[in-house]
């Protein structure tokens, strides 16, 4: 069985280290798993029930929902902005949580990882993201945790895919998430 994991990146910056982590996950995905990097989170308008009406949902939000609906799991990569989740990622979670009780992530395994400049690697943002995903209906995979500190130093000259320790950790994360998809399907 082939597994598709949708990767969302909470930073839209061109040189984002979290985007580089997501690119590494795409490259390092084990056989039988495809990690699909979603493009276009910055194009999605802020969630508003007035525009979330069948037949007039913004195209970018619809694309996100469709991509999540086709995925077996989601892998969220997030930095930490002012001690919490970047707005672009929180907005994506809000769109994916609707319609209430039947959103595109409802019951799907979701893991949260990332890197940040600080000494803890963004753990506050990762914890807040897990909380938001759980409230939105996703099945948070609590035992997948990867918070890489010192992003500017660690990845200043080295792409995460070329960092042996990070590559091994990411490969393990994707493989574990792949297993969660199998468990969810069997349940």
pLDDT at 182: 76
Q: How far apart are CA 176 and CA 181, in angstroms?
A: 9
Structural domain range at position 77: 3-186
pLDDT at 1: 63
Helix, strand, or coil (residue 162): helix
Whichever domain contains 159, its CATH number is 3.40.50.360
pLDDT at 148: 95
- 3-state helix vs strand vs coil in the chain, percent to 5: 45, 20, 40
SS (H, E, C) 67-80: HHHHCCEEEEECCC
pLDDT at 30: 93
Q: How far apart are CA 110 and CA 132, in angstroms?
A: 11
- Looking only at the bridges linking them, the beta strands covering 73-77 and 139-148 are unpaired
Count of domains for the chain: 1
Q: What is the pTM of this model?
A: 0.96
pLDDT at 187: 66
- Looking only at the bridges linking them, the beta strands covering 109-115 and 139-148 are parallel
pLDDT averaged over consecutive 10-residue blocks of the chain (187 residues)? Answer: 93 94 96 96 97 95 98 97 96 96 94 94 96 97 95 92 96 96 73
Strands ordered across the beta sheet of 139-148: 33-37, 3-9, 73-77, 109-115, 139-148
């Amino acid at each position: 069985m082939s597994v598709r994991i949708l990767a969302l990146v909470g930073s839209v910056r061109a040189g984002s280290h979290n985007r580089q982590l997501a690119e590494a996950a795409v490259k390092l995905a084990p056989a039988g798993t495809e990690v699909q990097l979603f493009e276009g989170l910055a194009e999605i308008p802020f969630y508003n029930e007035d525009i979330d009406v069948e037949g007039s949902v913004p195209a970018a939000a619809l694309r996100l929902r469709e991509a999540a609906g086709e995925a077996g799991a989601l892998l969220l990569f997030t930095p930490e902005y002012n001690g919490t989740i970047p707005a672009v990622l929180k907005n994506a979670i809000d769109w994916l949580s609707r319609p209430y009780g039947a959103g595109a992530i409802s019951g799907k395994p979701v893991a949260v990882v990332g890197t940040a400049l600080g000494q803890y690697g963004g753990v506050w943002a990762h914890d807040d993201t897990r909380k938001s995903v759980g409230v939105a209906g996703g099945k948070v995979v609590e035992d997948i945790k990867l918070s890489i500190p010192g992003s500017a130093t660690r990845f200043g000259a080295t792409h995460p895919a070329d960092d042996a320790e990070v590559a091994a950790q990411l490969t393990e994360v994707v493989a574990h998430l792949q297993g969660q998809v199998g468990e969810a399907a069997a349940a």
